[in-house]
Amino acid sequence: MSIILGFNSGHDGAVALIKDGKILAAVGTERVTRSKKQSAWEQEVIDYVLDAAGVTFEQVDHLVCVDNEQLFVNRPGKFTDTAPGREVFGEFREMESIPHHLAHAAAAYYTSPFDESWCYTLDSSWGRPEANSSICYGKGLDLVWLNCPIIEKGSDPNKPYEHFTGCLYSVTTEKLGLGPATHKAGTTMGLACYGRQIIPDYDFNNFDPTEPGNTEPLWAYDFQDKADIALTMQDKFEKAILGDIARLNTEQSSNLCLGGGSLLNCTLNGKIVKQSKFKDFHLFPGCGDDGLAVGAALYFAHHILREPRHSHTWAEQCYTGKDYPLEQEPDYDQIAKLLASGNIIGWFHGKSEFGPRALGNRSILADPRTYHTRERINHHIKNREWFRPFAPVVLEEEADKWFDWQIPSPFMLYTAQVRRPGDIQAVTHVDNSARLQTINKETNEPYYNIISRFGEITGIPVLLNTSLNDNGQPIIETPEEALEFLKVGKLDYMVINGVLHKRE
């Protein structure tokens, strides 16, 4: 069995360490360097991962990176290359490389519970339709690239959104004046829910698919116009991807793994579950480019080295950072009462999450019952756009009572309709939707306990959960950063590994 270090050197840089097919540790570069969306990886990030896993560099057998220039087209069957060597810890080491979309598919498939599955991936890669998406098929240890759907379906070249759907979503985000696409695509998704009409003749084709395009903001448009444009883009985006997925043969496998930055679009994911012919689904929590580090290492371990697969629990997939030990058992009754009284509390516990979502270890928690809670967090704590929604976390066994949703959503990657929007206003979006997380005791017992106790007090087993950070900043990583956030921010309390701290 091998110990493998995986790397992503593009935006959302990351390092992951795999042993015997299990994720021992993984972290995004930004969490360590504190530079949002930082590309590549630094020596300190390798140090972090090795330390978190209790492994020395001398014990590492293979280095595997993602090559963003490798394409599948005209290279049948050639899925690995030897990348240029790297100097790490003063030692020159050979590094293997895995194509970008194969690594996306591998992160999803090899962490899934499926022994056989289709894999669909999509993101935004400028200039080459063959670099934007892939369809792969996983069976046992094998993961094989089949085709690129946006080329294979032969869509109309006069409608480049069908070729470059992820790219067009990025352009739309920037033209709406929301900010860089790598940071703000999710804001477009949230804005789309305010749209009142789809604009059938809106020209999304006026951009050059070989360049990032003209992204001058549409300042002349008012809020409602921009919301309608966002809704129109979201609609075209969903139809293109649902069309691709509809072409897959569910008789061969009824399982579907999804990956790539475009599949962070929770609204789309919810519709895939509701509208596609597939029965079972899996997304890796780091399904954006940070997850490439995990995917590259897992692909090399299983497909190349033929090592047995590991059965990944949800906790093993999402809580992959350093483990900061519990100082004392949290006083769940006290914390739940503070939340029920309207206090907004930072929740720092154990290992940090992998990927862009706060999943209960680096979270801000609040009472979901009143819209005022959302207003306070958006304007005074997170300093972000007023129209952006917040996510609910609900006890898994109670989820169907509060949301039109029947499957687990442990990684906050699906949107569902809210059944009782008046009771949980702070986490209900303008269209009565919510990007929900479900939690069970096996995955994260302390997090489960605080939600359960809040439910006992209020009758609502739901909390507002958002990431423990300010707008545009990486999520908090260390206890020291959590204390500093409490001092300079406007949270009422912070729980750090069981200890309750009050803002002075």
CB atoms within 10 A of CB 119: 30
Is residue 293 domain-shared with residue 339, that is, in the same domain?
no
Is residue 31 domain-shared with residue 139, that is, in the same domain?
yes
Is residue 61 domain-shared with residue 189, that is, in the same domain?
no
Is residue 452 a contact partner of residue 432, using CB atoms and an 8 Å limit? no
Is residue 398 domain-shared with residue 259, that is, in the same domain?
no
Q: What is the pLDDT of residue 480?
A: 97
d(CA 492, CA 475): 18
Is residue 13 domain-shared with residue 120, that is, in the same domain?
yes
Residue at which a domain ends, from 188, 222, 243: 243
Contacts 24+ apart (CB under 8 A), 478-485: 478/324, 479/324, 479/348, 482/346, 482/348, 485/346
Is residue 501 a contact partner of residue 348, using CB atoms and an 8 Å limit? no
Q: What is the pLDDT along the chain (504 residues), one digit of tens a residue?
A: 899 999 998 889 999 999 999 999 999 999 999 999 998 778 899 999 999 999 999 999 999 998 766 544 333 333 444 455 556 666 767 888 898 999 999 999 999 999 999 999 999 877 677 778 899 999 999 999 988 787 666 556 566 566 688 888 988 898 898 988 888 999 999 999 999 999 988 877 666 655 655 667 776 789 999 999 999 999 999 999 999 999 999 999 999 999 999 999 999 999 999 999 999 999 999 999 999 999 999 999 999 999 999 999 999 999 999 999 889 999 999 999 999 999 999 999 999 999 999 999 999 999 999 999 999 999 999 999 999 999 999 999 999 999 999 999 999 999 999 999 999 999 999 999 999 999 999 999 999 999 999 999 999 999 999 999 998 899 999 999 999 999 998 999 999 999 999 998
E-only strand ranges, 200-338: 255-259, 280-283
Eight-class DSSP state of 131: G
Is residue 239 domain-shared with residue 139, that is, in the same domain?
no
| Residue 61 belongs to domain spanning | 3-151+247-312
Residue at which a domain ends, from 197, 227, 243: 243
d(CA 227, CA 303): 44
Q: What is the pLDDT of residue 124?
A: 87
Residues 6+ apart with CB under 8 A from 472: 36, 183
* Phi-psi label, residue 362: left if phi above 0, alpha if psi -120 to 50, beta otherwise: beta
Is residue 143 domain-shared with residue 34, that is, in the same domain?
yes
pTM: 0.94
Q: What is the pLDDT of residue 206?
A: 67
Is residue 214 domain-shared with residue 89, that is, in the same domain?
no
Does residue 323 belong to any structural domain of this protein? no
Does residue 341 belong to any structural domain of this protein? yes
Give the chain's domain count.
3
Is residue 147 domain-shared with residue 166, that is, in the same domain?
no
Does residue 318 belong to any structural domain of this protein? no
Does residue 326 belong to any structural domain of this protein? no
Residue 491 is part of a domain; what is its CATH number? 3.90.870.20
Q: What is the pLDDT of residue 95?
A: 85
Is residue 447 a contact partner of residue 347, using CB atoms and an 8 Å limit? yes
